Every structure is written in C-alpha cells, then in structure tokens.
Chain A
Amino acid sequence: MKIRVVHYLNQFFAQIGGEEKADIGPGFKDGLVGPGRALQQALGDNGDVIATIYCGDNYFAEHQEQAIDEQCARIAEYKPDLLIAGPAFESGRYGIACGAICQAAQQRLGIAAVAGMDEDNVGASLHRKNIYIVNSGTSIVRMVPTLQRMAALGLKLVRQEAIGKPADEGYLPRGIKRNEFAAKPPAERAVDMLLAKLRGDEFLSEIAPPKFAGGKPAAPLRNLKSAVIALVTDGGLVLEGNPDKIEPGRPTRFTTIPVAGVDSLDADKYDAVHSGYDTAFANRDPNRVVPLDTMRELERDGVIGKLHDFVHSTGGAHAAVENATLIGRQIAERLKAAGVSGVILTST
C-alpha cells in the first residue's frame, strides 16, 4: 500500500517569495513543490506526496493558533498517513512552525509526523520531546540526505515499526529512556570505555552530558551613568517568610522582591533560603548576597543611572539545567521589558 504524504513548507521553499512574502497566510497545492521533489524520490514506490501546505513564517508566528487550526482542517481533507515538515535548517520561525504543525497533526489528527531542522533551532528545543525531529544541520546543502532520513523515519512510523535510537535513526533525542539488555555488565562496559579512551579510540558515553545553551554575551555597557542596573541572585534571597515559597534546592521558580526606596537589606526583613550553603552569614547581613546597600550608594553618587526596582532571586542548589534555563529566560524577559541595561548576578 502506498502511503499518502503531505509536505509542509514555508513561503520561501514553497516558491512563493522571500521575506517580503512572510506575511501570507496558509496555502495549499495538490502535489509536490520545490524540496518535495527530493522527498518524493526518497519515498520512491513506498508513498506519494499528495499535497503541499505552506505558510508565511511571520504569519505563522503571529497567528499560530489560527494557522494551525486552518491547516489541520485542510490536512485532514487529504486523509494523509504522514506529515513531513521542512527541513527548516537554522531558521527559527520556520522551525517553530514545523514543530508546531507536526505536533498538532499528531495529536489532533492522529497521523504520523516528522519535522526536520538543526538541533540548535529554537523549534527543536520547543518540540523535540513530543515529535520526531531529524537533525538537518544548518546548511541547505543537507536538504536531500535530510529528506531521505525524514522519509525513512516517517515510513517506519506509519508502518508502526520499532524506532531505533536517535543516533541510529538520525532524530534528536526525545528524553525517553528504555530498558534494554546489555551483553556486558556496567563495570566491564566502563573499563572498555576507559581502555578505548586511553588508546585514543572512539567511544560513546551512555550518559548524555547536559548541554548548555550558552548564547552570545551582550555588548558592553557604554555609559554607566545612564545605565539601569538590576540585581539578580541564585543565593535564595527572599522576603521574610518566603511568601513566594521558592525552594531551597532543585528550584523551579524565582521570587521578585521590590526594593524601590530600600537603602539596605535589613536582616529582619529578608532571609536566605538555600540548601547548598550555610546561610548564617547571609541572614545576618543580606547585603552579603545581594549588594543593595552599595548599589544604592553608587546610584546616589551618580556612578550608575538607576538601580532597578526589583531583585529577582532563586535558590540555585542542585538546579536541573532545564529549570534553571527556564528561570533565567523568564527573569531576562522581565528585565528586558523593564528597560534594564545591565545585570549583576551574585552566585553562592
């Protein structure tokens, strides 16, 4: 039986136009367009690209719910077995669209879906846990081999065949752990690995190290005298009584402490909540963790433009990288929205 495949593309790959056409809403064509040719070749006699759906990257980003609703309704009419989206390479808006449409097709329509994009595409971090995403790398040169991988994986999903490990099938790890029988016990595997390392041979760790997002450092502050500086800490500073109930360890949230008009952090009004260090010194003088008194003086002396009116704080002990990343992003968004130009983060 030939499987029926719908292919999602953005306005560029659907040959509608470049950035000037990024505002167009969802559109549909019977048959294949552009990269669909390589997809059809990869499918061979196993399936047909029966339709291409496309959408402008900006339209999708700005009307995501609407775009998904409309596209799902139309995809359903084609009665496909499989949705292939992209590959989007390193294009963030396109990657998010590919991930979102695959997730919706899978959940709402119950059809198999595979997206393609670079592993660092923001769409990958948003959707990799819920859908299969083939790592395309950043370069369009990888279009054909990526579509081959996507087609092969899609066929397996439609046929409900067993899906191998991410490294073998070419998709991004989804954070799923499966028990399996190993030929050798852990001690032997560890020694084998060590010997391979000593010989300079290749070896593969069985535990994936956490990957840190990194990110580009901000440009240096040009003018301190007009800068708004915010204080942030992972030292667990809280208002007395910890009203936001931040966790002393394994944090999942942060607290926002108003400090407008506060000249110094009074030991009676603030606490440090943190399971990773002895908080006695901080509790005796919280300025030892968040240097509010000094910053207020520097503001008064005109060394800095303004001290931000809020301190954001979390207890950074044993933080899971994912939670810490989320907390960091949320704090950064608030600071940015408030017009803060520089941040001093004190870490315990």
Chain B
Amino acid sequence: MNGYFLQLALQNLKRHVWLTALIVLAISLGLGSSMTVYSVLRAMSADPIPWKSDRLLTLQIDNFGPQNHRDGQPPVLLSYRDVTAFRRDHRGMRQAGMFEIAVSVTTSAAEAVPVIAFGRATHADFFPMFDVPLLAGRPWSAAEDDARASVVVLGRALAARLFPSGRAVGQTLRVEGRDYRVVGIVGDWEPAPRFYDVGDDGGGAYGQPTSLYMPFDTAVEREVPTNSSITCLTFGLSRSAFLASECVWAQYWLEVASRADVPKIREYLQAYAAEQQRSGRFTWSPFTRVYNVREWLDYMKVAPDQLRVATWVAVGFLVVCLVNAMALMLARASRRAAEYSLRRAMGASRRNLFLQGLWEALLVGALGGAVGLLWTWVGLLALRRLVPEAIEGTTNLQPAVVALTAVLAVAVTVLAGLYPAWRASRTAGALRLKSL
C-alpha cells in the first residue's frame, strides 16, 4: 500500500511542480541557513575532553582588589607567586601551571634561519593530565621540572620541519639561543576548542596548535619570552620584582580523582585566600573561582553571544519557512479537492487520504532535507572564506548536523503537512463531485 501512496505522491509532485518546488525551496533554505550557523555554534561549544572535563579544574583568585574587577570577576590569569604556592600545596591528583611562550627555534646548525614557535611552558603533569598522546620519547619528569632541565617536547609538525630526516628524540635544538634536548614528540592532539589556551590571549581557542613544550621553571628562570597577556597594576618592574608582584600571566590547572573532590578544592582555595588576607597581602575578603572545562569555556565565551543570537535568527527563519510551507501545502491540497472527492467516491477511506497526504509531505521533506544539506554545505564553504583562520576548524560539515538536518526536514514537513492532510481526509465525497 505504501508503495502505491509513494507512486501517487510522485505523480502529484510532478503535476504541481512549481508549487512543490516553492515548498522545497522554502524548507531547504530554512534548513540550510539554520544548520550552517548552528554547525559553527555547535563546534565552538563542543566539549574538547568529555571523559574528564568535569574533573579538570582551573583556579582564579582575586589578587587585584575590588577596584580592579572587570565585570565583577577576579583576574582571568594568576600571578607567579600564587602558581608557585598552589604547586607547593599539591591539592589535586595531577597539576600544572602554564603560560604561552613564543620562541625562536633553530637546529644546532649555526646558519639556519630561526622560526618562531608558539609553545607552552608547563609542568610535567600537563601530559598525563590532559591525556596528551606521545608519538615518540617521553614527557619530562617532575624531577626535571625541579632541576629546571634543558629539555623540550615538540609537536609533530615542528619536529618534522626541524628534523626532516626523521628521529628528533635525543637531538639538540637551539631555543632562544640556548641548547635543549628533545625528549618527546606529541602525536595528533588537537582538542577543539583548545580549552587550556583560551585564557591567556595566546594561541586562542582555535589558533595555531602548540608546537613546543618546555618545563615551567626553566622558562621562568631563563626569561623565555611569554606570549600570554600580562596584566599588572604597576609598570616598569625589574624581573625579580615582576615575579614577586601581583602581575597576572599564568594559568593553573589540576585534575581531581572524582567529582566529589571539587568542593575540597574550592575550600582549599578559599582558605588560601583567607590566609593571604590574614598575612596582609590582600586587604579584601577572599574571592575565588573554580571552573571545570565546560564552565571555563562558557565563562570565557568561546562561543560568542553574538553567534548564539545569529543562530536564533536563523532558527526563526526556519520557523517562517515552516509556516510558508504549510500555507503552500494547504493551497496545493485545496486545489485538488475535486481529486479527493473522486477518490472518496471511489471508495478510498479517510485514513487512506490522510496517509496519502502525509506521504506527500514526507516526500517533500526528503527533497527539502537533501537540498537543505546542499545549502548547508555551500553555506559552510562560503563561511570558511569569511571567518578568521583561527576558527576554520569549526566550518566542517559534522555528521551530527547531517543527521539533525534529516530529522528536522522530515519533522518540519510532516508537521506542516499534518493539517492539510487532515483537511483532505475530511473531504466529503459527493459534495465536491457535483461541481466537477
């Protein structure tokens, strides 16, 4: 029976080709534009490390005082003295301080022209904490952290560029004019958004991938140039005064064993701030924040509010298209009142006419969905030319979006077709036939 409905639906589609084309066009445009924008929003609000995002925490403490709040929140980054203290107190299962660095790198061959590598100065726990896969070698050890060892871990691309002949592990590299030993190579690791990089204005959530890692204290001691934004209350400090100052420029991340430990970290941080107030460092009461990965991405507005608004505009457009499709389907159905009467008179049941109407809607939905996917693909392609390279990764057609488009296409058209189909099924046989 369904095959017969489909056949009839196809026939009708051909007979009312212009009206059908109009309906398909409206639905596909609505789907295409809303799915294009939603696709970008979805990519930007994705969870980059879902298996432990609720156990990875980053800390904030107000060391600037109430007068220097921005939007009533403590500074985004931390001072060197707080990072050092947190590491000493060692409250998580794993933990690492970090900041973005921009360094000139050459192989030891003296004449080579240096390249700039955007990297990360961090502690040894960075690798196991963020589940960074190593292609070769090993991360450095906590002992090497403490010894301020001259070691680096390279990203795959930079390693291949510097050592085209292969084996980079064990080789020596000149970073900012000093020799470092390569101990490990990071494999494909591309968390998107790059949650650990959104806070410090360095590479950003979608920028250049981190290509070089070195021990935190090695970088601090050797004054390796930071690429993080530095916020100070006073300018013109000497290096030692800078490290002891309230200037903020580093992040601190820690991993707890279970979600139940999160309140403990909150309590610890609050107690730490209270201690700073007692000792006279802060003249204000403790004001601290603990964010997990998802909360952090939300707070940092990785997916901008404006994009959310644009998504709502596009969804609104889809609703308009739905209303439009419904009006046109109704028109198409009314135009065929005579045909319905004839079929009723020939013995088709109301149920049959209703199902017939739904089948037609389904067919239009399938067409609308297919064309809508095409528009989405075109839209994302066009968007790729527009957006900063930094967020190019967000303009891929995701399988989930394809699935959603298909489901929406069918749901939207069936919804729009429901009433016209019902109306058609109410056609009285004899009455309309008289005017034929």
Interaction A to B: no
Binding site for B on A (CB under 8 A): none
